[in-house]
Copies of this chain bind each other. A is one copy, B any other.
Amino acid sequence: MDKGPESGGLVRLLKWVTGFEFEEKVGKARNIVKSMDSDYGIPRELSDLQKIRSLYEPEIPPCLQGTTVRVEFGDATTTADPADDPTIRRAFPNTYGQPLAHFLRATAKVPDAQIITEHPPIRVGIVFCGRQSPGGHNVIWGLYSALKIHNPENVLLGFLGGSEGLFAQKYLEINDEILSTYKNQGGYDLLGRTKDQIRTTEQVNAALVACNSLKLDSLVIIGGIPLLELYMLLNFELQKRFLTIEMYNILGVTSNTDAAQLAETFAVAKCPTKVVGVPVTLNGDLKNQFVETNVGFDTICKVNSQLISNVCTDALSAEKYYYFIRLMGRKASHVALECTLQSHPNMVILGEEVAASKLTLFDIATQICNAVQARAEQDKYHGVILLPEGLIESIPEVYALLKEIHGLLRQGVPTDKISSQLSPWASALFEFLPPFIRKQLLLYPESDDSAQLSQIETEKLLAYLVEAEINKRQKEGTYKGKKFNAICHFFGYQARGSLPSKFDCDYAYVLGHICYHILAAGLNGYMATVTNLKNPVNKWKCGAAPITAMMTVKRWSPNPGATSIGKPAIHPATVDLRGKAYDLLRQNATSFLMDDIYRNPGPPQFEGPGADAKPISLSVEDQDYMGRIKKLQEYLEQVRTIVKPGCPQEVLKAALSVMGSVTEVLAAMSASSSNNLSSL
């Protein structure tokens, strides 16, 4: 009887029970529970560059070093627009108004900082929600590393295949082995991302059951794009509010809105799992007082700027083509703005400018034509024009047309009947558009009701309109130049899976660490934040802000006759037309347009010059909101110390006088800024 290990019955049985057969074959260990058929977390072949990158150890700021967590709580938070306060408070009774949290270095002398030295073992779940963004893996690594530093018994479960894996309780226990080939690497393929939409009550219950039955102390959501259905259905089940799917569909929400809603829901349901959000989205549109930029944005802009610059060089070499390049970024134009500042193409048309100036499709085409004509007068017949994917929705009449189409689609009108049921005005526009665009407009909208933006070839539409207009001008004799030739590109998915830049690697890793500190402080419904990002890592300030403090309430009427509803959500931040980054663009726009001062940042580098570059739009802004809030608190604290009962009458009088006028000025400014906001 053969007793060798290869054929031993017991060994085989063990293998069968534990599922370690494959792992032995590849000489690696995997802890896969309930997902024996999955390929997730498999160590894989890396290129030389990937290998070196996998050995890179991101820096962490001094406040996160060591094994003691020191947290200082700031003031209770409010929201940017005071008018939204009651609505948000009503929707989030348990999680709205929580204080800011600042994580401090062990030696920091802050009298009332909370010091957490005991770290009982905890179980944390982590899930990728929404589209992949370079750097996502490093959040997992950072969290894992912080968990193990504080207590080796801590457990991190990665849900497989996004929220679907959460509901089905399919997960992978993260360990060093598994992480080894995913450190500083792009994609979400360690765990996979959300695959399907979640529509049934069963799935929602499964989510609660999962957190309870897996005894999770915390659930960390790495995300950008909506986990809308989860939000919606949890809401249905637990809060029993009546809202139709259509009503939710009109809200532009991000998965962090859902994290906030989950946190609130868990609190209501007395589920002990704390929910934490992490700002990971390549569109760069999760931006507010607390969040300066998002993980992935830097990489996406670097990879795209490289390609845009290559096309600029191409244009200048051949001197006969206009390139129309559409960039991703959904509704906001952050990516297009940053890439313009990096590459200096001739023109960019931001959705925010179009919306603010209420430009029509023909206005935009005319602007481009005028630019082409002005360049032709200088004997230039080439150029590069950037278009954000959200542009199409920013054009008022196209937006109105899309709304009508989507309304009809939702009523179940078949696509070939849509045209005949549109309002006369919308129908006229629709019929005017070239067939390929008509077809794309008829695609069913995404779950958050944006059009299938990445499917609408705005670049081809504008090239088509510009060519028609130039030909017309040529016939009329107003354009006397050479033939206009357009080449169209969509830079969509080429950048998304890229190796993350050093900045994104560091930022994500630090955010992962912060997640641990949030959990250790027992916080629920917070987002991990790092401010002062434009400075070196050792100057970064780490903290956490209640997600509800980032919410606003939009009120609108989706269809004529329907009741307006307002629901708190984190709305994608658009490009601030009063910000410094946009101002920089405006200052240089004429020179970019006429002088071909193309600049090629080159492919993203990991060593040598350029490796430490950060987004220009981040570097020009003067942010550090969290740092300033903390500074203000220090001033107030000093005032309190100086003006204690027993202080001289003069000191008190001076304090009253100064504080009175400070309060008056701030009240006035605050009211006017909120008016400005709503007039935008």
On A, residues with C-beta under 8 Å from B are 37, 39, 44-53, 131-132, 161, 185-189, 192-193, 195, 303, 306-307, 309-320, 323, 344, 379, 436, 487, 489-499, 596-610, 613
Contact = CB atoms under 8 A, between A and B. Distances in A.
A184 to B, nearest CB: 11
B603 A303 contact: yes
A120 to B, nearest CB: 34
Contacts of A131: 318
Contact of A495 (B37, B46, B310, B491): B310
Contacts of A50: 599-600, 602
Nearest to A455: B487
Nearest to A42: B596
Given A187-B316, A310-B186, A493-B311, A602 B192 contact: no
Nearest to A132: B317
A379 B49 CA distance: 30
B313 A186 contact: yes
A342 to B, nearest CB: 8
5 contacts: A47-B599, A311-B494, A499-B602, A603-B604, A605-B606
Contact of A602 (B49, B189, B312): B49
Given A47-B601, A607-B605, A189 B313 contact: yes
A227 to B, nearest CB: 15
Given A52-B608, A132-B318, A307-B494, 9 more contacts: A37-B379, A39-B596, A49-B600, A49-B608, A52-B609, A161-B319, A186-B310, A187-B317, A310-B495
A186 to B, nearest CB: 5
B319 A603 contact: no
B192 A319 contact: yes
B498 A603 contact: yes
A602 B497 contact: no
Contact of A605 (B37, B311, B603): B603
A192 B47 contact: no
B494 A491 contact: yes
Contacts of A318: 131-132, 188, 193, 195
A317 B494 contact: no
B317 A189 contact: yes
Nearest to A499: B602
A489 B493 contact: yes
A105 B143 CA distance: 59
A596 to B, nearest CB: 7
A493 B313 CA distance: 10
Contacts of A44: 597-598
Given A52-B608, A497-B310, A600 B189 contact: no
A379 B35 CA distance: 13
A48 B132 contact: no
Pairs A-B, 8 closest by C-beta atoms: A313-B497, A187-B313, A603-B603, A310-B497, A49-B602, A188-B317, A314-B497, A607-B608
- Among A303, A315, A603, which residue has the most Cβ atoms of chain B within 10 A? A603
A489 B320 CA distance: 23
Contact of A312 (B46, B315, B497): B497
A533 B186 CA distance: 33
A138 to B, nearest CB: 14
A78 to B, nearest CB: 37
Nearest to A51: B609
Contacts of A344: 45
A162 B39 CA distance: 53
Of A131, A487, A493, A604, the most chain B CB neighbours within 10 A belong to: A493
Contact of A314 (B46, B303, B312, B496): B496
A493 B324 CA distance: 12
A534 B318 CA distance: 31
A49 B317 contact: no
A598 B499 CA distance: 13
A494 B310 contact: yes
A255 to B, nearest CB: 15
Contact of A317 (B192, B605, B613): B192
B39 A498 contact: no
A600 B499 contact: yes
Contacts of A323: 493
Contacts of A596: 39
A487 B131 CA distance: 15
A519 B295 CA distance: 55
A187 to B, nearest CB: 4
Given A310-B495, A379-B37, A606-B608, A600 B317 contact: no
Contacts of A303: 310, 603
A309 B497 contact: yes
A53 B602 CA distance: 10
A377 B494 CA distance: 28
A460 to B, nearest CB: 11
Contacts of A605: 49, 603, 605-607
Nearest to A50: B600
Contacts of A492: 487, 489
Nearest to A316: B189
A455 B487 CA distance: 10
